[in-house]
Amino acid sequence: MLTELLEDFWAIREKNVIKIKELKEQGRKVVGIYCTFCPNELVIAAGAIPVGLCGTRDEPIAAAEETLPRNLCPLIKSSYGFAVTDTCPFFFFSDLIVGETTCDGKKKMFEIMGELKPVHVMQLPNLKGDGLYFQLWVDEIRRLRARLERELCAGISDEALWEAIDLVNRETRAVKEICDLNRQDPPALNGLELLAVVWSKGFSADRSGVVDMLVRLKEALVERQFQAAAGKSCCCPGPGREATSVPQWSRPRVLLTGCPVGLGSEKVVRLVEEKGGAVVAMENCTGYKTLELETGREHDDPIVALAHKYIRIPCSCMSPNQYRLELLERMIADFNPCAVVDLTWQACHTYNIEAYAVERLAAEKGLPYLHLETDYSASDREALKVRIEALLEMAR
């Protein structure tokens, strides 16, 4: 049962290519998004399907480098590479692309991507709080609403928006509950399983179906933990559990932070697990970064409610970005890691510079810390292995 449920998550992306194609033929619209700052509640409320397009594979990067500079973050190059080579079915199906002015590389890439598809770029303030910056963000979300209505020929009522908000809140809660099962030792999911569940859900055309899948998965994981505690079974092997024969309970627990990771760009997660560590939690956009954030009902205007939620995302493009450190501190207390791995994609200046503060936090908590700057290629695998091995030795 549990194995099948996990396999369903591994298969979401593939299955939904066909599903989205069928829905497009029936007239449904698709909106491609690249970042967690895009309020996908608006897309859902417009009756369209939001799909995550962030590039997580190395293959299209060479094509992207014909236009973009080589010393750019691989996530940006991969995203653009998929678009320009027309090799991502989700990009192909997208009627509109939504980007944000998060980092410099992304915002300039969106200008060029606009030659391929209609692109709407949200101007994101770099500062949280009330006042002028917040008002700008509220206006940007209203501007997105108007663009979606125009581009998708669909009205977005407040009622539909509150319904979409409830759905996304339920999904956030369901994902968080699964991630939180990894507070226990042994963790409920290994790093690759965790990634497959949290990352893959973004490709589903059926949001409430995904919430049901998450609820069923949580129940099955709780049951497995209960059986294991009762001595009836050990952690059963599932997809991704074959990396090494080291049992989950004897592995040094690792907290991964930094740039987003997806299937295809999971080499650091894979190496930690291959070398005998357990990635028990990820504080990044494909992990815990947004899981404490739900849209509240205390505001009458759903746009203002959404603005309050999204402006709190602790991305390194925010300055200052104190909430990330607070979140990391809570995660260290809750997930009890033995070490912190901080991943920076090459040329990502904001995460690279924040590594200074993360290292200091890890030192304060007495945790071994490893900052890795890498790209999507396999060229530095051996060097990474050595550094990860050394970290896990210190953590044992």
Which parts of this chain interact with ligand SF4 (CB under 6 A)? 35-37, 73, 75-76, 102-103, 105-106, 259-260, 285, 313, 315, 317, 345, 348, 350-351
Query: Helix, strand, coil proportions of the chain in percent (round to 5)?
Result: 55, 10, 35
**Least distance in angstroms from the C-beta of 288 to ligand SF4:** 12
3-state SS class at 107: helix
Looking at the Cβ atoms of 36 and 204, the one nearer to ligand SF4 is: 36
Q: Which is nearer to ligand SF4, 37 or 137 (CB)?
A: 37
Residue 91: count of CB within 10 angstroms of its CB: 22
By beta-carbon proximity to ligand SF4, the closer residue of 213 and 318 is 318
Half-sphere exposure of 86 (CA within 13 A, CB side): 4
What span, in angstroms and rounded, lies between the C-alpha atoms of 32 and 25?
17
H/E run at residue 335: helix 322-335
Considering the complex, what minimum distance in angstroms separates the CB of residue 127 from ligand SF4? 15
What residues have CB less than 8 Å from 146, skipping those under 6 apart? none
We find the least distance from the C-beta atom of residue 60 to ligand SF4, in angstroms, to be 15
The answer to whether the beta carbons of residues 342 and 352 sit under 8 Å apart is: no
Q: How far is the CB of 175 from ligand SF4 (least distance, A)?
A: 15
Nearer CB in complex with ligand SF4: 188/347 = 347
Give the residues across from 96 on adjacent strands: 31
Q: How far is the CB of 146 from ligand SF4 (least distance, A)?
A: 22
Q: How far is the CB of 32 from ligand SF4 (least distance, A)?
A: 13
CB of 106 to ligand SF4, least distance (A): 5
We find the least distance from the C-beta atom of residue 349 to ligand SF4, in angstroms, to be: 7
| Minimum distance from residue 107 beta carbon to ligand SF4 (Å) | 9
Task: Give the closest residue to 387 by CA, choosing from 336, 343, 322, 325.
Answer: 343
Closest CA relative to residue 343, chosen from 393, 290, 380: 380
**C-alpha gyration radius of the chain:** 20
- The count of C-alpha atoms lying within 13 angstroms of the C-alpha of 125, restricted to the half-sphere facing its C-beta, is 21
Nearest CA-CA partner of 239 in 3, 1, 2: 3
Smaller CB distance to ligand SF4: residue 5 or 285?
285
Nearer to ligand SF4, 36 or 248 (CB): 36
Is residue 39 within 8 A of residue 156, CB to CB? The reply is: no
Q: Which residues pair with 52 in a beta bridge?
A: 33
Cα–Cα distances in Å, from 352 out to 140, 173, 373? 28, 30, 8
- Specify the residue, 280 or 285, whose C-beta has the smaller distance to ligand SF4: 285
State the nearest-atom distance from the C-beta of 73 to ligand SF4, in Å: 3
Torsion sign over Cα 151, 157, 162, 163: negative
User: Is the Cβ of residue 69 or residue 237 nearer to ligand SF4 in the bound state?
Assistant: 69
Show the CA angle centred on residue 315, arms to residues 209 and 240, nearest 5°: 50
Closer by beta carbon to ligand SF4, 47 or else 114: 114
Which is closer to ligand SF4, CB of 6 or CB of 171? Answer: 171
Structure tokens at 23: 């829905």
Return the closest-CA partner of residue 62 out of 71, 53, 70, 50: 70
Quick count: other Cβ atoms within 10 Å of Cβ 169? 17
